[in-house]
Structures are given as C-alpha cells and as structure tokens.
C-alpha cells in the first residue's frame, strides 16, 4: 500500500517534472559564480556545462533549505543539518533515471535507487550545526538521513549511502 502510494507520488512528480520542462529552457541553470562543489551528470535535461550541471554553494542553497535534527554514528551528540533534499536537486536538473550514483572526493561511491522509499528522505546537507561544512568537517556536501526518526534509517544500507565529502552525482537508468 505504502509502496503503491509512493509509486503514485513518483508518477505525479514525473508528470509535473515533464510539464515544467516544456515551459522552461534546457539551459535555465545559472552559471556558477564561485567554486564548483557539485557536478551532476547522466540522465539530466537541465545543464549548464556541456552535458552536466555544475553547482556552487549559492546555487545549491537556492534549490531549497531543509533541516534535520539527528544523531549519527560518526558524530557526537545531536547534529543539526541544513541542506537541499535530494529530490529537489533531481528536479532542478530535470533528472530522468532510476538510480543515482554518488561519488565522494576520495572516489568513494555509492548507488541510491530512487524507488527505495528512504531516498525521498535523503538530504544533501551543506551546513552542520550552523556552519558550512569544510572538507575537514566531511564537507562540502554530506548526504544524511533522519536516522533517529525510524529504524528504516538505521540500516547498514542507509549508513553506507550516507556519503560525505560528496562532489559528483550521476543519474543512471
């Protein structure tokens, strides 16, 4: 049941996506003005650098601002994360695919299937405890989940998908 609702949600999202893309330009994405911290490639309709979409921190901040309060196994105490939902980013790049491949600065890579219900809760965080995350603080971007919210976010799979020092995303079929 939950599954079918999610599927329905996805279909609706896709339709909205499609209508949005027809009324907007493919190269609507602005050009980054400072250091590029994220590169999105693969099945995307919206680009700003050849076939990829590149983002600096301000561009990512413009995509949205969501916060999560949670503990993590890698940190001490309750952490406050601010970031853009993964789905919002995918929307912004008009992604067309079912799996995203996320890669870190040190080439650590994971895959997130978009039909996994946990994926909608995934947040691409850029602020931790009120500060922009540096590379030393697992920045500039860290995919986090609301781990304390439900046991489904406390699995090995979710932990492994919680990739920090993220700098590349590829949308694949």
How buried is residue 158: exposed, middle or buried, by Cβ count under 10 Å (0-12/13-18/19+)? Answer: buried
CA distances to 19, 115, 151 from 84, in Å: 22, 19, 23
- How far is the C-alpha of 124 from the C-alpha of 163, rounded, in Å? 9
Q: Minimum CB separation from other proteins for residue 99, in Å? A: 20
Q: Minimum CB separation from other proteins for residue 160, in Å? A: 6
| Both tokens assigned to 83 | 């970031």
> For residues 19 and 134, which CB has a smaller minimum distance to other proteins in the complex?
134
**Can residue 35 be called a binding residue for other proteins (CB under 8 A)?**
no
**Can residue 36 be called a binding residue for other proteins (CB under 8 A)?**
no
Residues 132-151 that bind other proteins (CB under 8 A): 134-138, 151
**Can residue 131 be called a binding residue for other proteins (CB under 8 A)?**
no
Q: Minimum CB separation from other proteins for residue 161, in Å? A: 10
Q: Minimum CB separation from other proteins for residue 92, in Å? A: 26
Q: Tokens 């695919």 belong to which residue?
A: 97
Phi, psi of 26 (to 5 degrees): -65, -30
**Can residue 74 be called a binding residue for other proteins (CB under 8 A)?**
yes
Q: Of the candidates 71, 80, 131, 172, which one interacts with other proteins according to CB under 8 A?
A: 71
Q: What angle do CA 66, 101, 5 make, to 5 degrees?
A: 60
Q: Of the candidates 6, 36, 63, 105, which one interacts with other proteins according to CB under 8 A?
A: 105
> For residues 93 and 164, which CB has a smaller minimum distance to other proteins in the complex?
164
> For residues 14 and 155, which CB has a smaller minimum distance to other proteins in the complex?
155
Give which of 32, 22, 24, 33 is closest to 52, Cα–Cα: 32
The CA R_g of the chain, rounded to the nearest whole Å, is 16
**Residues contributing to the site for other proteins (CB under 8 A):** 71-76, 105-106, 108, 134-138, 151, 154-156, 159-160, 164-165
């Amino acid at each position: 049941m939950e599954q079918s609702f999610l599927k329905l949600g996805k279909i609706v999202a896709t339709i909205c996506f499609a209508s949005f893309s027809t009324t907007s330009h493919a190269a609507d994405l602005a050009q980054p003005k400072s250091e590029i911290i994220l590169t999105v490639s693969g099945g995307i309709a919206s680009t700003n650098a050849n076939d990829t979409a590149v983002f600096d921190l301000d561009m990512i901040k413009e995509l949205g601002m969501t916060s999560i309060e949670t503990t993590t196994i890698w940190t001490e105490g309750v952490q406050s994360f601010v970031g853009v939902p993964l789905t919002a980013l995918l929307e912004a790049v008009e992604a067309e695919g079912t799996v995203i491949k996320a890669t870190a600065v040190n080439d650590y890579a994971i895959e997130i299937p978009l039909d996994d219900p946990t994926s909608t809760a995934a947040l691409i965080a850029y602020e931790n405890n009120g500060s922009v995350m540096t590379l030393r603080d697992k920045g500039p971007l860290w995919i986090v989940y609301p781990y304390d919210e439900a046991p489904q976010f406390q699995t090995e799979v979710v932990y492994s998908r919680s990739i920090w020092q993220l700098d590349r995303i590829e949308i694949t079929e």
